[in-house]
Chain A
């Protein structure tokens, strides 16, 4: 018995970690490798799905595909808009909510509710609110004297509208991460600056911002991962339309695979998404160390 428990103790690391590794291999690593493999095939719908080896043809075809290029541009547009919004609103909200006040915990608890709201449910409601003729958003716009907008029904406003939907759910997280950075600033520094008569703006610019920069970049990395993969709100509200004006890479990959059964093309797009995320995060992570 003694020997048995000694044996277990000796190999505890392996015994504990291997099952989880095997499981992540089955659920994640193996499918990923298989996706790479799939990208070399054309799928044919003969007696179920058949595959035909075509080498790198999928890759070449993709870059001649107009829809793909549009989706690529749309994805970057999504990314830029969303990150800008996140940095500005996230930081301002963090400065506001990060203070100590009565009932702060309850307040923060309510504030993060959008994060755990089922995205499909939220997107459906947003969809009804966007309605150009009877939606509440246009009513509110008119109320303050602004002209009505077509929101998700018009090519040039559809992506900003969808960014709003996504940001509603994700900005609370960005705010929390930045708030964590605020709280890690030594209190003495702030006190000292206040005694020296620094204004709130100067305090922010010279003391809080330098401390916050790395944390903001982490928040951006989180959001980058999320926004490049954005799916739920777009699929629920517009399905990529009108025409292709809100088609993103992830949506295109989904459409190719599960509507047109072009598994190979979809696999290539998925790998490109993965690559984009890794490159963007790599750049951002470098940025964090330098600055």
Chain B
């Protein structure tokens, strides 16, 4: 019966789905156009970049990438970003996971809410006092200061994204473990952590991406030693006569790690935001 119905509507359905796909492409093209232009500019030389009307077809060159990698200490900036984003994410995981387990286990949503409200404050609010403190202690331009500061981003993200994982673990499973003589700590370590691996990895990677992208903290707290990639590329613009090619190449290189990580976790990422509206 159902099949017959569908058969009768076939030409109309095809037409409808064609319209749908056209609408989809039209709706998404503005979002993708920026990336497209980024890549295009990075493959043009300076002369081609300032031509008007803009060139669409040309002989691509990788020269811009070579220049960024050779003429700037790009690798050093990259490592700085790695250390700072990675460090604060690892510390955030170390402190955040037990906390989020405890919040789920003992139903202390209030504490989670407190952390969330803190997160609403503008970043400069945390930065300003820490800047004065670090200046007095001579800690400006150290990894310690930057990792510490970025905890204001990683910790709330990690706590919030892992709570629901711990809540989802069926009570029977835990009770079975307790009856078998497993302590709570043992249950956490042997049962709940492994079961929540996916959640924890997703939260860690999202935290890493957020720290990697965060600009203000590094803009203020880092100087020549600990310059992160966003600050480096920003300085690149301010102090040199702007060349669009290397600029676009550097932008792509910076954006590459978060984008690649996103490929792996987009399902978890989407899921956590799909439920954000319903739960919140």
Contacts and interface: CB of A to CB of B under 8 A. Distances in A.
Interface of A: 5-6, 8-9, 12-13, 15-17, 19-21, 23-24, 26-32, 34-35, 38, 48-49, 92-93, 96-97, 99, 101, 105, 107-114, 116-122, 124-126, 128-129, 133-134, 136, 139, 168, 171-173, 176-181, 183-184, 214-215, 218-219, 221-222, 225, 228-229, 231-232, 235-236, 250, 253-254, 257-258, 263, 266-267, 270-271, 273-274, 277-278, 281
Given A23-B155, A128-B244, A222-B276, A253 B111 contact: no
B273 A270 contact: no
Nearest to A89: B27
B216 A111 contact: no
B98 A20 contact: yes
Interface of chain B: mostly helix, strand, loop or mixed: helix
Contacts of A119: 213, 215, 230
B254 A121 contact: yes
Contact of B184 (A12, A93, A99, A278): A12
B121 A32 contact: yes
Contacts of B20: 96, 99, 101
Given A97-B24, A116-B259, A172-B31, A12 B185 contact: yes
Contact of B106 (A13, A48, A121): A13
A97 B24 CA distance: 7
A172 B188 CA distance: 35
Contacts, number: 269
Nearest to A229: B122
Given A117-B258, A180-B274, A257-B128, A19 B230 contact: no
A214 to B, nearest CB: 8
Contacts of A17: 98-99, 102-103, 108, 111
Contact of A281 (B34, B54, B120): B120
Interface string B249-280: 01110110011011100110110011111101
A43 to B, nearest CB: 9
Interface stretch (B4-12, B45-53, B62-70, B168-176): B45-53
Nearest to B276: A177
A112 B215 contact: no
A9 B30 contact: no
Interface in B97-123: 98-99, 101-103, 105-106, 108, 111, 114-115, 118-123
Q: Which of A27, A118, A168 has the most CB of B within 10 A?
A: A118
User: Size class of B's contact patch?
Assistant: 35 or more
Given A20-B99, A23-B95, A232-B216, 20 more contacts: A13-B106, A16-B101, A17-B108, A24-B155, A28-B152, A29-B118, A31-B130, A101-B17, A109-B270, A112-B262, A118-B258, A120-B230, A124-B233, A125-B37, A126-B34, A173-B273, A253-B124, A257-B124, A266-B128, A281-B120
A232 B32 CA distance: 20
B155 A20 contact: yes
A109 B31 contact: no
Contact of B41 (A99, A125, A183, A215): A125
Nearest to B152: A27
Q: Which of A27, A225, A235, A267 has the most CB of B within 10 A?
A: A27
A21 B118 CA distance: 12
B248 to A, nearest CB: 6
A245 B55 CA distance: 33
A49 B126 contact: no
A231 B215 contact: yes
B120 A16 contact: no
A231 B219 CA distance: 12
Contacts of A99: 20
Contacts of B185: 5, 8-9, 12
Given A96-B27, A254-B216, A16 B124 contact: no
